[in-house]
Chain A
């Protein structure tokens, strides 16, 4: 797995330095209409057991963590996750077709080539500010 430079872009409060979460492969998909929800993806690895409990961004009214549940009938339903478990040392991946961050109430479209700033809050109290690139509407992931 490619660790992008995003990991270095994170800003941890110094006193939470022991709870270290590494973010990699973060990206968002350009949205087509501002009135439609957008999706962002990333991989989180925490060096201690933690939970991702909130995500905010200035340009979206709210951000929710969604899992896609596919039943035996191959019907896909989205399920909201209030707190995403981050087992110690285990990468948790949000990727197309599985888990994603859904951004709703966008004040503007996510334009390809721009960056999307996100603030992540963890159950441990840690808080991170990251920025992920906005890729094309047909993108399936960050380029290797």
Chain B
């Protein structure tokens, strides 16, 4: 399909120039906006390690025994909190095994720590699934699940990022990408510190927690 250049009336050419101009302005605008957003938005994507007001233990969820719980149920203890999901083959079992080692190393001091695993995949991680899952790692480990909204709210308060990612190789066709942090929260629910499995041997983390208790 072709149009003879000679046949194009001047009005059409003018209109075409205006339209192309508009397209150019739009593209330039989007590019500038994206660049600005990348530049300005960068800070908000970083997990902040300080600022108690930002990260707080505040949630309304259901534990692995079926009890409805909030952070107040654990307010007499420090909290060691990890977000994950039971269809996670590597990072979650690895981190929960690491947390279990830390609890064992704490010995009697573990009485002062509530180890909590919060699922970011509540659709599949129901109460019975959580019960079977957490019992394997440590008798003290508490598994929390809830509605999608409850989980979203809990992760928001902890500033814990997660996202469902479609993947053909995954069970049911999706994984939950998530941050692998272990949060140490004060008995009042305020933020104390954040760790990662592999960041230090379990002995070092146990020692650090013991010093804070």
A127 contacts chain B at the CB level, 8 A cutoff: no
Q: For residue A74, which residue of chain B has the nearest CB?
A: B179
Interface string of A123-144 (1 = CB under 8 A from B): 0000000000000011110000
Query: How many contacting A-B pairs (Cβ < 8 A)?
Result: 95
- Interface size bracket, A side: 20 to 34
Known contacts A29-B93, A140-B94; decide if A76 and B177 are in contact (CB<8 Å). Answer: yes
Within the assembled complex, what's the spacing in Å between the Cα atoms of A97 and B93? 10
B residues within 8 A CB of A33? 86, 129, 132-133
| B contact residues, total (Cβ < 8 Å) | 37
Partner of B90, one of A62, A72, A102: A102
List residues of chain A with CB within 8 A of the CB of B45. Answer: 73
Q: Which residues of B contact A66 (CB under 8 A)?
A: 89-90, 169
| Chain A residues whose CB sits within 8 angstroms of the CB of B46 once the complex forms | 72-73
Give the residues in chain B near A39, CB-CB below 8 Å. Answer: 89-90, 93
Residues of chain A within 8 A of B3, CB atoms compared: none
**A53 CB within 8 Å of chain B:** no
Q: Mark B99-137, 1 if CB is under 8 A from A, else 0.
A: 011000000000000000000000000000100110011
B181 in contact (CB, < 8 A): yes
Q: Interface 1/0s, chain B 78-100, versus A by CB < 8 A?
A: 00000000110111011011101
A36 lies within 8 A of B86 (CB)? yes
Q: Which of A74, A77, A104, A139 contacts B97 (CB 8 A)?
A: A139
